[in-house]
Structure 1
Amino acid sequence: MQDQSRFDTLGRLEDLPLDYREELARQNLVPLWPSLRAVLPAGKPQPNTRPIHWPYETLRPLLMQAGELTPIEKAERRVLVLANPGHGLEKMQASAAMYLGMQLLLPGEWAPAHRHTPNAVRMIVEGEGAYTTVDGEKCPMSRGDLILTPTGLWHEHGHDGDGPVVWLDVLDLPLVYYMEASYHIDGEPQTVKPGRGDRAYARAGVVPTQVFQRSNKAYPMLRYPWVEARAALEALAADQPELEAVQVSYVNPETGTDAENILGFYALMLRPGQTLDLPVRSPAMVFHLIEGGIDVGISDNSFALAEADTCCAPGYTPVRLRNRSTNSPAFVFIADETPLHRKLGVFENRG
């Protein structure tokens, strides 16, 4: 067995002569060994992502104030970013690969069309009457709905109703930015085309028959209505009363693969009074409470989530969810980095 102590006594940068360090710097060279344990820690990663909770009750007044202070014409997208202090607030990251933002649209406003390289989804938090048009498909927004705006597709937001509409943005922006591949292109208002994916693919296992020609849409379903997802969870819970985790995944209805390429999206139902210990896995996770009240334990941290609250858990960390109600189920939207980890071959499930 190798002596572990020799791996823990690597030389420090300060051990090297100053003139040698200066010559390295002049040639844009860096010695690895002083930083080796920082980039390759022993046993498991040491994530910068911290357990963090963003209560909607305290966030909402600041978002409404933003609506008073900044007209949509000056904001384009009026968003408060949910930043994880472990990454530094200036980096606008919730985790290594996830960006979160609460976006506000007021009656009569229009957020102009653009497209960009990061993938995005919208989880609707409150309000009625707004819509997102994606690639010519007009997607109405209702609380709990999930709407995709995948990489490269034109999208814009409008509001024909009364009262504010708020949604949670989830993007893979940190990853795309880190790859130096992040940019956007402005566009003109879209012409709405007939047909809606949430109607064509409204039933699991039943998809439109392409009699004459296969669809060329990479993302045939852009809106996942909450009323359908909730019904699926309730039916699953009733059909399998012993099932420990009542959870559904948002997937591409034609391929069965993840709804988008980089991040995964799910809806979870906690039965009345249920406590659920999630497997310790490598991806970071985001929890957004759609209905009910739950307690979230992340390692040594505990957060009490009310409706519309959001929290984040780093990877390689135990997570416990508990439904505080003994009479009603709770419903949680989850976003995580699982598709990315699987594609990179670094996904781990440590049980």
Structure 2
Amino acid sequence: MRRLLWLAVLVVLLWSGWWAFAALSLRAGITDWFEQRRAEGWQADYAAIRVSGYPFRIALSLRAPALADPATGVAVEASVLRLTSPAWWLGEADVIFPDDRILLASPEGRSSVLLEDGHAALRLTPGSALELRALRFGASAWTLEDPAGTVLTAGATEVSMVQDEADPARYTMRLNATGLTPGQVPRQRLRIPQDWPVAFDAFGARMQVQFDRPWDRRALEERRPQPQQINLSRAEIRWGELLLMASADLGIDASGMPWGTVPLQARNWRAMLDLAVSAGALSADFRPQVERALSALAGAGGNPERFEVTLTLERGQVRVGFLPLGPAPRFILR
């Protein structure tokens, strides 16, 4: 009996020592990372850091974290960030976001996001590189605002990025947002009619992206992995009478320029042209040419309000058949 008691005491002492080592290592890793970012010219601050969760978990609370990358102009600030993981492996971390506003800034302007039950699950592969195996984000509701007012709101939202087992540089990404609702800011800018539905009926996508290297700790310490190939299996947007479905098979060169094809299906496409002109994405002078071309395509399919077309991206341009639509977007992650 005495031996069992001593054995139990020894196990408790060993486990306590391991927990203390893991907790202090996590704390030191966070503080060292912030110090390294400051040495690189970032704004990287926090008010306090606290570790708890003994005996089976490690829970870290970071008060008032604030990060700003001068190279990209992107900044984020929150009241608190909570991270929890099993004591035996810190690479299976769950992040709990605050229930008050998270402040965002970029070269495009300032905004804030308010999350309800905002959480993320981070799964890393053991090893010095800490490759990203899976990243999932979810919220039961959220609101995005800028100084002019509400930009977007949505209900249950899920975003995921999962590493391919056969190719560590390939990731499957999914997005689904229920009840996505444009606020008054985009409705006014796009001149959306007041009788249009308030919320999207469907908003989701699934794709595979091949990067030039896996996502790991170098994505934060050096540069982001850059996409080399995008295979969009399905994207669907339904908003009242509007329907837009797309797939894509794109290659991307070292400068971020894409080439390939994007099959599109659209219903009530004339209303989409109205929105594109209102938003400035399509020149009003160029609209008649686009409308004539799309009318011909829709007429060939037998339904003048619905058409199927394939966009071709090559040499930095987007075109439908011989008709140029404008410059192709660059895919560069900064």
The TM tier, using the shorter chain, reads under 0.3
Q: Which has the larger radius of gyration?
A: 2
Q: Bigger relative contact order, structure 1 or 2, given CA contacts below 8 A and separation 6+?
A: 1
Which one has a larger percent strand, Structure 1 or Structure 2?
A: 2
Structure 1 length as normaliser, TM-score?
A: 0.22
Structure 2 length as normaliser, TM-score?
A: 0.23
